[in-house]
Amino acid sequence: MATTTIAKALNAGLRRAMEADAKVILCGEDIGKLGGVFRITEGLQKDFGEERVMDSPLAESGIVGTAIGMALRGYRPVVEIQFDGFVYPAFDHIVSQVAKMRSRALGHVQLPMVIRIPVGGGIGAVEHHSESNEAYFAHTAGLRVVAISNPADAYWLIQEAIAADDPVVFYEPKRRYWDKGELDETHRGVPPMSQASVVRTGSDVTVACYGPMVKTCLQAAQAAAEEGTSLEVIDLRSLSPLDLDTVAASVERTGRLVTVHEASGFLGIGAEVAAQVQQRCFYSLEAPVIRVTGYDVPYPPSRIEEDFLPDLDRVLDAVDRSLTY
Amino acid sequence: MTPTAPRPATEGGPDMIQLLTPEGQRMHRREDQQYADIAAELSDEDLRGMYRDLVLIRRIDAEANALQRQGELGIWVSLLGQEAAQVGCGRALRPQDYAFPTYREHGVAWCRGVDPLNLLGLFRGVNHGGWDPNEKNFHLYTIVIGAQALHATGYAMGVNLDGAVATGDPERDTAVIAFFGDGATSQGDVNESFVFAAVHNAPVVFFCQNNQWAISEPNDRQTRIPLYQRARGFGFPGLRVDGNDVLASYAVSKAMLDRARDGQGPSFIEAFTYRMAAHTTSDDPSKYRVSAEVETWKLRDPILRFKAYLAHEGKADAAYFATIDAEADEMATYVRSGCLSMPDPPGTLMFDHVYAEQHAQLAAQRAEFVAYQAGFEGAH
Ligand SMILES: Cc1ncc(C[n+]2csc(CCOP(=O)(O)OP(=O)(O)O)c2C)c(N)n1
Ligand SMILES: [Mg+2]
């Protein structure tokens, strides 16, 4: 067991995946010598060579489009999208090709690729560098969508995503890259990628969140505990498919659910969780499901991003509202 | 046929149009005569004005850089080294022309008359640009690489539809210019803009500042032929100009803009230059490039070169240079104090201007936001 950061754990996970399988190749903008703008691929080109760690031309459509071809040729491409807001040039390939190839070919071919996306705001960046676009991809059948929140998941899930035979959109919470946590590289102590995990047990209100919001919600739970309210915090981890069994089991005990994400609320992951939970847990619910989300506006300039982003207070406010029923 | 490898980052090659040597001597290459003729039309006052532009924009840039270091800007994108490419081109534009910039076109913005403080808002994080593009015919900075090339082309198609080319009226005939970098030439958007511009004979000039780097990636990650040679395959002329030579940049830009205004359609200019600073204030170039390359380019500094030329030709004297330095100091003060006094916007700004008319759903959310924020008032 060692203390490490999400960034370092991802780097170590990528390294291990590359060591385990010579078909694993990395491609993206500035991922070579620079090690990526977030240094997630630091040192990998030096150790695995320019053929396995490719600095790509500046073209996201090209990055994902060629990854499709490489996957068809038997490789396992792991592509890096430099920032969330720059995945859109590749949107066509992801939605029309990556997601559908297996079903179009009736299972004769598969595209085992990972599309890594540093996601979310809170870093004081200029526009297009702080977006949360997971709902677009979760809405697209054929893609698996994963959002990590801690170093242990970073390390194990990146390897699991690479080994998976389905394409995975892999969200990394950029403002948490340098947050520390425990990681045991010798023993996989985390659940499978497709499962949610209860990261704090509690009895009064269930809080379902993912990615960068997990830390926020754990802090909220701590604050709530000091006021005598017990929150159960669930890290969804997999956004498509959703592990609703874990959420429903919790809600059946607490009777209340708050969902939290940075992305705008309208048609977001929280909306899907809410819809499914009210169907499954109708008789257990003591309050309507409450969503805490970014507002339904373009991501704002950084000087007011704190007003946009859900924070501890907004989570606690939602918890209070839930408890008034 | 083996394609030509791109030349090293320090070597512009024989096709590069140049009017001044790095030491500031006028060059007289026969093949560049038509551009020399254009530059010869500039009055001494025009030339001094260009010098002033170069010095002021470098100073604005340096001040913004310092403001970032002091935490007043979230990030800054320096144009250091690219002043001549931008000023030369910027001064070749006419008021009715329209420019579509990237995020690094501070020198062009300056030439268009955009208040430098407008440029800071985006980097300070108080807005996403926010200026009225139609006021100076200078579009918002575009961060998504290459997108603006299509916007420029579409705008130019509109100019065609309006019949605002080839009328012979210099106040009416309009050119559009799209700026982008060497890295951007890989984007589908940029290549598609070439196709659209060619097919529609759009009055657009593609102005590519090849500063040799796309963050950490050198030219050979984007191309195996010199970029200006690509234009030919799309069906319009491509030229390489010394981007550190303000006269050459002006002359070539003017020739191509005139061509567009005259109804002869698109063209591509590769301004061969160098990004002297880091990609942005967040970048660390020591990870990927050698200082020898930077040193080589230092010797080609666009401002020193032009200053030497002006002095040598007796077009400006020490007193003039001193005046400009003093003006640059004033400009730095203006930028600094303007930045420091730039207020944070209210949180409600995010709800404004999302739609032509705010719909009820968003209005309700805005009201919720206001009520929620009000709950904190008095709490601290
Ligand atoms: C679509 C898109 N992908 C990636 C980025 C991140 N990015 C910002 S600048 C840059 C390099 C641009 O290089 P170049 O086109 O040469 O312009 P320069 O910055 O050198 O002026 C990259 C990759 C972006 N802004 N947009
Ligand atoms: Mg460049």
Give the pLDDT confidence score for residue B1 in this predicted structure. Answer: 42
Residue with tokens 């949180």: B347
Q: A33 and A152 share a domain? A: yes
Positions of E strands within B135-231: 176-181, 204-210, 213-214, 217-218
Residue-level pLDDT, tens digit, chain B, 380 residues: 444 555 577 789 999 999 999 999 999 999 999 999 999 999 999 999 999 999 999 999 999 999 999 999 999 999 999 999 999 999 999 999 999 999 999 999 999 999 999 999 999 999 999 999 999 999 999 999 999 999 999 999 999 999 999 999 999 999 999 999 999 999 999 999 999 999 999 999 999 999 999 999 999 999 999 999 999 999 999 999 999 999 999 999 999 999 999 999 999 999 999 999 999 999 999 999 999 999 999 999 999 999 999 999 999 999 999 999 999 999 999 999 999 999 999 999 999 999 999 999 999 999 999 999 999 886 65
Answer yes or no: is A230 within a domain: yes
Asked whether the predicted pLDDT for residue A188 surpasses 60, the reply is yes
Asked whether the predicted pLDDT for residue A260 surpasses 90, the reply is yes
Q: A148 and A10 share a domain? A: yes
Active-site pick, A129, A139, A187, A261: A129
Query: CA-based angle A37:A42:A44, to the nearest 5?
Result: 130
Q: B366 and B230 share a domain? A: no
- On chain B, the residues whose CB falls within 8 A of the CB of A124 are 74, 125
User: Quick one: which of B83, B292, B57, B257 has its CA closest to B177?
Assistant: B257
Answer yes or no: is A189 within a domain: no
Rounded Cα distance between B228 and A242, Å, is 50
User: Where among A158, A183, A208 does a domain terminate?
Assistant: A183
Residue with tokens 């591509």: B268
- Residue B356 to residues A296, A299, B1, B126, B359, Cα–Cα distance (Å): 15, 18, 55, 21, 9
User: Where among A156, A183, A210 does a domain terminate?
Assistant: A183
Helix, strand, coil shares of chain A, percent, nearest 5, are 40, 20, 40
Whether A128 sits among the annotated catalytic residues: the reply is: no
Answer yes or no: is B209 within a domain: yes
Q: A243 and A178 share a domain? A: no
Nearest CA in chain A to B76: A126
Mutate to test the interface with A, among B118, B128, B220 (most CBs of A within 10 A): B128
Which residue range(s) make up the domain with B359?
A: 347-380
- On chain B, the residues whose CB falls within 8 A of the CB of A32 are 216-217
Query: Does A46 lie at the interface with B, CB-CB under 8 angstroms?
Result: no
Query: Does A308 lie at the interface with B, CB-CB under 8 angstroms?
Result: yes
At A64, list the tokens. Answer: 């994902």
C-beta A59 within 6 A of ligand 1: no
CATH number, domain containing residue B52: 3.40.50.970
Are the beta carbons of B75 and A126 separated by less than 8 Å? Answer: yes
Give the pLDDT confidence score for residue B377 in this predicted structure. Answer: 82
Chain B from 128 to 147: CB within 8 A of any A CB: 128, 143-146
Query: Does B191 lie at the interface with A, CB-CB under 8 angstroms?
Result: no
- Predicted model pTM: 0.97
The answer to whether A260 and A209 have CB atoms below 8 angstroms apart is yes
Q: A24 and A169 share a domain? A: yes
C-beta B283 within 6 A of ligand 1: no
- Burial label for B378, CB within 10 Å (0-12, 13-18, 19+), is exposed
Q: A67 and A201 share a domain? A: no
Are the beta carbons of A296 and B361 separated by less than 8 Å? Answer: yes
Rounded Cα distance between B216 and B283, Å, is 9
Answer yes or no: is A190 within a domain: no
Q: A153 and A205 share a domain? A: no
Distance from CA of B312 to the nearest CA of A (A): 43
Answer yes or no: is A191 within a domain: no
Q: B325 and B362 share a domain? A: no
Answer yes or no: is B289 within a domain: yes
- Burial label for B295, CB within 10 Å (0-12, 13-18, 19+), is exposed
Chain A from 268 to 307: CB within 8 A of any B CB: 295-298, 300-305, 307
pLDDT per position as a tens digit, A215-224: 999 999 999 9
Answer yes or no: is B380 within a domain: yes
Rounded Cα distance between B209 and B241, Å, is 10
Three-state secondary structure of B94-158: CCCCEEECCCCCHHHHHHHCCCHHHHHHHHHCCCCCCCCHHHHCECCCCCCCCHHHHHHHHHHHH
C-alpha A49 to ligand 1 mean position (Å): 24
Q: B218 and B233 share a domain? A: yes
List beta partners, residue A231.
Answer: A205
CATH number, domain containing residue A240: 3.40.50.920
Q: B119 and B154 share a domain? A: yes
Q: A48 and A166 share a domain? A: yes
- On chain A, the residues whose CB falls within 8 A of the CB of B186 are 57-59, 62
Helix, strand, coil shares of chain B, percent, nearest 5, are 50, 10, 40
3-state secondary structure of A124: coil
pLDDT per position as a tens digit, A78-126: 999 999 999 999 999 999 999 999 999 999 999 999 999 999 999 999 9
Q: A216 and A135 share a domain? A: no
**Cα radius of gyration (chain A):** 19
Residue nearest to atom 7 of ligand 1 (CA): B145
**Furthest C-alpha separation in chain A:** 60
- Residue B375 to residues A265, A323, B367, B379, Cα–Cα distance (Å): 22, 18, 12, 8
List beta partners, residue A207.
Answer: A233, A258
Answer yes or no: is B10 within a domain: no
Q: B290 and B186 share a domain? A: yes
Residue nearest to atom 6 of ligand 1 (CA): A82
Q: Please name the member of B143, B145, B365 whose beta carbon is closest to the beta carbon of A58.
A: B145
Residue with tokens 């076109």: B105
Q: A162 and A283 share a domain? A: no
C-beta B226 within 6 A of ligand 1: no
Domain count, chain A: 2
Query: Does B187 lie at the interface with A, CB-CB under 8 angstroms?
Result: yes
Name the percent of chain A lying above pLDDT 70.
100
Q: B157 and B286 share a domain? A: yes
Q: B125 and B247 share a domain? A: yes
Helix (H), strand (E) at residue A182: strand A180-183
Averaged pLDDT for residues A185-211: 98
- On chain A, the residues whose CB falls within 8 A of the CB of B122 are 126-127, 301
Which residue range(s) make up the domain with A201?
A: 197-323
At B240, list the tokens. Answer: 């390489």
Give the pLDDT confidence score for residue B126 in this predicted structure. Answer: 98
Strands A205-209 and A197-200: unpaired
Domain count, chain B: 2
Are the beta carbons of A303 and B344 separated by less than 8 Å? Answer: yes
Give the pLDDT confidence score for residue B289 in this predicted structure. Answer: 96
Chain A from 83 to 122: CB within 8 A of any B CB: 85-86, 88-89
Q: B104 and B252 share a domain? A: yes
C-beta B145 within 6 A of ligand 1: yes
Rounded Cα distance between A144 and B95, Å, is 51
* ipTM value for the complex: 0.96
Averaged pLDDT for residues A21-44: 98
Answer yes or no: is A135 within a domain: yes
The answer to whether A295 and A164 have CB atoms below 8 angstroms apart is no
C-alpha A183 to ligand 2 mean position (Å): 39
Averaged pLDDT for residues A206-214: 99
- On chain B, the residues whose CB falls within 8 A of the CB of A125 are 74-75
User: Where among A126, A161, A183 does a domain terminate?
Assistant: A183
Q: Please name the member of B74, B184, B347 whose beta carbon is closest to the beta carbon of A58.
A: B184
Q: B211 and B360 share a domain? A: no
CATH number, domain containing residue A163: 3.40.50.970
Answer yes or no: is B108 within a domain: yes
User: Quick one: which of B198, B194, B222, B202 has its CA closest to B210?
Assistant: B222
Peptide bond into A151 cis (omega under 30): no
Q: A167 and A268 share a domain? A: no
Nearest CA in chain B to A300: B350
Rounded Cα distance between A150 and A152, Å, is 6
Answer yes or no: is A278 within a domain: yes
Candidates B76, B145, B274, B283: which one to mutate for ligand 1, based on the most atoms within 8 Å of Cβ? B145
Q: A211 and A177 share a domain? A: no
Are the beta carbons of A58 and B347 separated by less than 8 Å? Answer: no
C-beta A82 within 6 A of ligand 1: yes
Q: A179 and A216 share a domain? A: no
Answer yes or no: is A188 within a domain: no
- On chain A, the residues whose CB falls within 8 A of the CB of B216 are 30, 32-34, 55
Are the beta carbons of A295 and B127 separated by less than 8 Å? Answer: no
Q: B96 and B70 share a domain? A: yes
C-alpha B230 to ligand 1 mean position (Å): 20
Residue with tokens 């509202």: A321
